[in-house]
Amino acid sequence: MIIETLSTFPLMYESVMGSSMMKRARERGIIDFTAYDLRDWTHDRHRTTDDDPYGGGAGLVMRCEPIYEAVDALCGRPAPEGVVTGREQPLTGPAPQHPQGPAPTTVFLTPCGRRFDDALATELAGCERLLFVCGHYEGIDERAYDLADYQVSLGDYVLTSGELASMVVIDAVVRKLDGVLGAPDGATDESFVEGLLEAPQYTRPAVFRGREVPAVLLSGDHGAVARWRREQSLARTAALRPDLLCQAPLTPADRSFLDSCASSGADPAAHGIIFR
Ligand code: ADE
């Protein structure tokens, strides 16, 4: 997968994209990542990417011209007829890496976007090429969003930087790609994939400061372990994220387990359900 970002702080990606799983995914050739500097598509001496908001108000708004110019250049598209780009200086940053590549799916990070979740990560993981456009400051000129295939929000709060938001999305997408995680079912056997929260996990020691690992996990009975994990998952989700249950694909056995929890009292500990 080709992953590109367009922003005014490309160096922010160095640590995240150069460490751990993202580094491994790049080394294995699973992703080809480039962070472009939007300032390379400006034409003034100060490489200005923002300006005062029309109508007044606090903060600065990112201008749409460099964004359009950059996206056109990254896609190998000529500027539309009649548009004079008037570039004074040649590009100072890396030249577009994939001008002949597949057309990118463009993802703009904004608090007004579609709420990011596992389903959207899976959808984006199916794309051949992703281009993340990241705002900073107060936001982006509304006309730039005409370029967006997706507008994505991490949640109901405001970050100072779309770069941070894009890194979260990239991480969640890349770990779904074949070959990135070690275990074959690493990205399928976890929270949200089945529409539920994950069951608790343990490793050695079996007893830590008096707290024991649940006996079933030491039993070697794979069927019992699977059943226990499913029940923990169901009960945790019912208690902590009941909103997820309405959407989750539940079997008749799941439903009768949840009914038995509900009818036999509210105390999850009574069912051996573990909460932090
Ligand atoms: N940029 C600023 N806040 C954001 C958010 N919550 N999600 C995505 N991008 C953002």
Integer CA distances (angstroms), 162 to 9, 88, 90, 138, 210, in order: 10, 28, 26, 11, 44
Quote the ligand 1 centre to 10 CA distance (angstroms): 17
pLDDT, position 245? 92
Q: Same domain for 146 and 69?
A: yes
Query: Atom 10 (ligand 1): residue with closest C-alpha?
Result: 110
Q: Same domain for 209 and 81?
A: no
Determine whether the shortest distance from the Cβ of 153 to ligand 1 is under 6 A: yes
Best residue among 112, 154, 157, 166 to mutate for probing ligand 1's pocket (most ligand atoms within 8 Å of CB) is: 154
Determine whether the shortest distance from the Cβ of 155 to ligand 1 is under 6 A: yes
Determine whether the shortest distance from the Cβ of 165 to ligand 1 is under 6 A: yes
Q: Same domain for 226 and 151?
A: no
CATH number of the domain to which 252 belongs: 1.10.1270.20
Quote the ligand 1 centre to 43 CA distance (angstroms): 28
In a domain, 200, yes or no: yes
Quote the ligand 1 centre to 154 CA distance (angstroms): 6
Q: Is 36 annotated as a binding residue?
A: no
User: Cβ(102)–Cβ(59) under 8 Å?
Assistant: no
Query: Atom 5 (ligand 1): residue with closest C-alpha?
Result: 111
Domain count, the chain: 2
Q: Is 157 annotated as a binding residue?
A: yes
Range(s) of the domain holding residue 42: 2-174
Judged by DSSP in three states, 253 sits in: helix
Q: Same domain for 208 and 167?
A: no
Q: Collect all residues with Cβ–Cβ distance below 8 Å to 265 and sequence separation of at least 6.
A: none
Integer CA distances (angstroms), 16 to 5, 8, 114, 161, 239, in order: 13, 17, 24, 15, 34
Q: Is 179 annotated as a binding residue?
A: no
Integer-rounded Cα Rg, in Å, for the chain is 24
**Global pTM?**
0.90
In a domain, 98, yes or no: yes
CATH number of the domain to which 88 belongs: 3.40.1280.10
Quote the ligand 1 centre to 13 CA distance (angstroms): 16
Give 10-residue mean pLDDT values along the chain (276 residues).
Answer: 97 97 97 96 92 94 94 86 60 74 96 96 98 90 97 96 97 97 71 87 97 98 96 95 92 94 68 61
**Of 142, 174, 206, which one is at a domain's C-terminal end?**
174
Q: Same domain for 24 and 156?
A: yes
Determine whether the shortest distance from the Cβ of 110 to ligand 1 is under 6 A: yes
pLDDT, position 262? 87
In a domain, 187, yes or no: no
Residue 131 Cα to chain centre, angstroms? 13
Best residue among 158, 169, 171 to mutate for probing ligand 1's pocket (most ligand atoms within 8 Å of CB) is: 158
